[in-house]
């Protein structure tokens, strides 16, 4: 409802738990706050604490409610239980007309379930991503699939994501292809003069690595580390930059296996702006991150995905992303191919993004305005 006279504004609660959620929700918060029909309440669960705060600061967003839920090396069951218990009280106090969640984290599942219990309409930003394997990625495929069953609005980033939702029985009225808000965020910052803030050797070709997925814990991550070290051994022309996730399942192993190599630079997780600077500087990117699969191709950087499956196959189909899995031999082989073969490199470095045009957040805001304010 428009804010005229005594007519109440619609109230939307935007839930954010992790750094990727903050990046992708920031444009949505900005788009909604630019309009006069809605009151926006930002809820930070702080499933990730420091990494979340970094991004919120970049976009000038201060949470209205902060659950500060993070605990060291927290288990999924403990995190989920504590979230649901705290969220119920928050939803009762705020009484929003709608709740927005993004992606596939534990925050998404807990917020969607808690909102459903309170009969609050839910919108899912970046809806419809699927691998078809409930254990891969784990637990993200389960989180987004179950949360999606509870939602009124499904904001799909691509036509393929929308088709996944139609195949699960959702109607045309519930599914909206908007593009991915990660491109909105990237376009806001990529044109700036950005510094990585990490000392790197001049004249070396930069290979950027991110690896932290839960399904890669254990032997798969050992394979990834072995590939990183072998690549550094056989290529004197490169330097590898690896911002290491703080989870001890990752950081302890990575630092023990990689820290001593002269061509490998390990650092703390980079803030969003330095990370964008690192992507811009990189020759190639090795990652198991979903968001990086979307961002790096838009910056014309070839991406080798350290997973056997991806819920983002559009970039694979366009030839700008390649699946190599957590397999040492494949990682080294494909990385060396890109470093040696300029034609192969050029085929992947197209600067093409199948994930959006930078206007996804404004489309989401317009759909919500139409449905919540009664505007035609």
Domain ranges across the chain: 10-179+359-373, 205-348
Positions of the chain with pLDDT under 70? 1-6, 375-376
> Residue 171, Cβ neighbours under 10 Å: how many?
9
Taking only the tens place, the pLDDT of each residue in 128-147 is 999 999 998 899 999 999 99
pLDDT at 179: 97
pLDDT at 5: 52
pLDDT at 213: 86
pLDDT at 160: 96
pLDDT at 3: 45
Residues in contact with 102: Cβ distance below 8 Å, sequence separation at least 6, in sequence order: 15, 16, 21, 24, 25, 28, 108, 124, 125, 126, 181
Residue 304 host element (H or E): strand 303-305
Query: 112 with 150: CB under 8 angstroms?
Result: yes
pLDDT at 373: 84
User: Could you say which of 213, 229, 235, 245 is catalytic?
Assistant: 245
Q: Which fold has domain 10-179+359-373?
A: Rossmann fold (3.40.50)
pTM above 0.85, yes or no: yes
User: Could you say which of 212, 213, 307, 363 is catalytic?
Assistant: 212
User: Could you say which of 140, 271, 283, 311 is catalytic?
Assistant: 140
Among all chains, which residue has been given the structure tokens 């709608």? 98
CA distance 79 to 184: 30
126 is catalytic: yes
Query: Among 181, 192, 13, 196, which Cα is nearest to 103's?
Result: 181
> How many residues are given for the chain?
376
User: Could you say which of 21, 126, 271, 334 is catalytic?
Assistant: 126
Q: What superfamily does domain 205-348 belong to in CATH?
A: Glycogen Phosphorylase B; (3.40.50.2000)
212 is catalytic: yes
Fold: same for 10-179+359-373 and 205-348: yes
> Residue 190, Cβ neighbours under 10 Å: how many?
17
- DSSP class per residue in 136-160: SSTTHHHHHHHHHTT-SEEEESSHH
98-102 sheet: strands from edge to edge = 65-66, 38-44, 10-16, 98-102, 121-125, 153-156, 175-177
């Amino acid at each position: 409802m428009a804010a005229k006279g005594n007519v109440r504004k619609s109230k939307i609660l935007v839930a954010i738990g992790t750094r990727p959620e903050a990046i992708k929700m920031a444009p949505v918060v900005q788009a909604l706050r630019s309009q006069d029909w809605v009151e926006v309440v930002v809820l930070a669960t702080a499933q990730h604490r420091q990494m979340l705060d970094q991004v919120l600061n970049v976009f000038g967003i201060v949470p209205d409610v902060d659950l500060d839920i993070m605990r060291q090396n927290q288990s999924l069951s403990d995190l989920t239980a504590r979230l649901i218990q705290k969220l119920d009280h928050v939803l009762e106090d705020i009484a929003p007309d709608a709740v927005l969640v993004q992606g596939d984290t534990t925050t998404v599942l807990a917020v969607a379930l808690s909102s459903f219990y309170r009969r609050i309409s839910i919108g899912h930003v970046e809806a419809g991503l699927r691998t078809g394997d409930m254990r891969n990625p784990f637990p993200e495929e389960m989180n987004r699939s179950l949360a999606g069953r509870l939602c009124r609005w499904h904001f799909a980033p691509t036509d393929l994501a929308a088709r996944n939702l139609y195949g699960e029985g959702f109607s045309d009225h519930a599914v909206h292809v908007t593009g991915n808000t990660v491109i909105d965020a990237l376009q806001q910052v990529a044109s700036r003069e950005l510094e990585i803030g990490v000392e790197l050797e001049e004249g070396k070709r930069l290979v950027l690595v991110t690896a932290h997925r839960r399904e890669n814990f254990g032997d798969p991550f050992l394979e990834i580390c072995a590939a990183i070290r072998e690549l550094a051994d056989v290529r004197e022309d490169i330097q590898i930059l690896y911002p290491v996730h703080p989870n001890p399942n990752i950081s302890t192993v990575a630092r023990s296996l990689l820290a001593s190599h002269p061509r490998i630079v390990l650092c703390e997780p980079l803030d969003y702006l330095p990370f964008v600077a690192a992507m811009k500087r990189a020759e190639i990117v090795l990652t198991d991150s979903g968001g990086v699969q979307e961002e790096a191709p838009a910056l014309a950087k070839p991406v080798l995905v350290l997973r056997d499956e991806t819920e983002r196959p559009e970039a694979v189909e366009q030839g700008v992303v390649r699946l190599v899995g957590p397999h040492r031999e494949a990682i080294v082989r494909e990385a060396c191919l890109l470093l040696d073969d300029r034609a192969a490199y050029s085929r992947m470095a197209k600067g093409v993004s199948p994930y959006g045009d930078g206007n996804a957040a404004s489309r989401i805001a317009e759909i919500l305005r139409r449905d919540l304010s009664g505007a035609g």
